Amino acid sequence: MEAKRNEDVRPRGLGRGLSALIGDEAPVSGLSKAAQDNRALRSLPVAFLQPNPAQPRKHFDETEIAELSDSIRAKGMLQPILVRPITGKQDAFEIVAGERRWRAAQRAKLHEVPVVVRELADDEALELAIVENVQRSDLNPLEEANAYRSLMNQFGYTQDRLASEVGKSRSHVANTLRLIRLPDSVQALIRDGKLSAGHARTLIGAENPEALAKEIIRLELNVRQAEQRSKTKPAKRAKPAKDADIKALEAHLSNFLGLTIEILDHGSAGGELRIHYRTLEQLDGVIQRLKTGNENG
């Protein structure tokens, strides 16, 4: 029942991309299509726009921003930015989708940018921002995974619905979500672009994912090779050979007690004496021998 309620209240246009959102304005009777378009699209000063603090995309590649800025300078901004008014503030709008274009427009020294203004509640704005970013493949794999988690935790999405909304397979969604389980050190390598999502997925469940990640990078392994490495368990280290004197003591005690004796981890700080017995009678015999030895001493 809860899932159905979530479906009913989701904003119109969700899952269809920014172009659909731009066309979501309800038509006004008597206006031509051109007039309708002008009503939906307007220009605002760049300074009126503010980033969304809940923006799922945390990393903006400076090279990509520079390239987009050059394109905007040469051809103008071909796609508007989706914004919503900030309650209680005049001439202030929060970016719902299009922060990268806004950043590039600033670098291109534009004074105004084309926008579509929508009245959206906080949860609607966050949901649209997440879905829009995922659809555009603007997120790195970890940002994408965290975006999926936000949609599931805050808006009750299932993996099936997520896959449908963002146009991905269910297995892609499931595998991406699994990246969040990796250690922070490995996640940092993914964020920095040193480890691809495909490589990272091979580390899930590995005994030492951090060491394996460094090995993948150092040896420049492909995904198949990384997969094989993660399945191969590291060989156990052979125990160092025991000192001849230690072996002689073990043999002497074994003969004296009639049981198997081990002297372990002997060093300057001491060690451990281990007596192997099978029955309480054998243990009682060891105790009696020790008592007899003490009395004789």
Catalytic residues: 99
String of DSSP letters for the chain? -HHHHHHHHSPTTTTS-HHHHHTTSPP-TT--HHHHHHHHEEEEEGGGEE--TT-S-----HHHHHHHHHHHHHH---SPEEEEEPTT-TT-EEEEE-HHHHHHHHHTT-SEEEEEE----HHHHHHHHHHHHHHTT-S-HHHHHHHHHHHHHHH---HHHHHHHHT--HHHHHHHHGGGGS-HHHHHHHHTTSS-HHHHHTTTT-SSHHHHHHHHHHHT--HHHHHHHHHSPPPPPPPPPPPHHHHHHHHHHHHHHTSEEEEEEEETTEEEEEEE-SSHHHHHHHHHHHHHHHHH-
- Please list, residue by residue across 73-90, b when 16 or more beta carbons sit within 10 angstroms of its beta carbon and e when fewer do: eeeebeebbbbbeeeeee
CB 44 within 8 A of CB 112: yes
User: What distance lies between CA 65 and its chain's CA centroid?
Assistant: 23
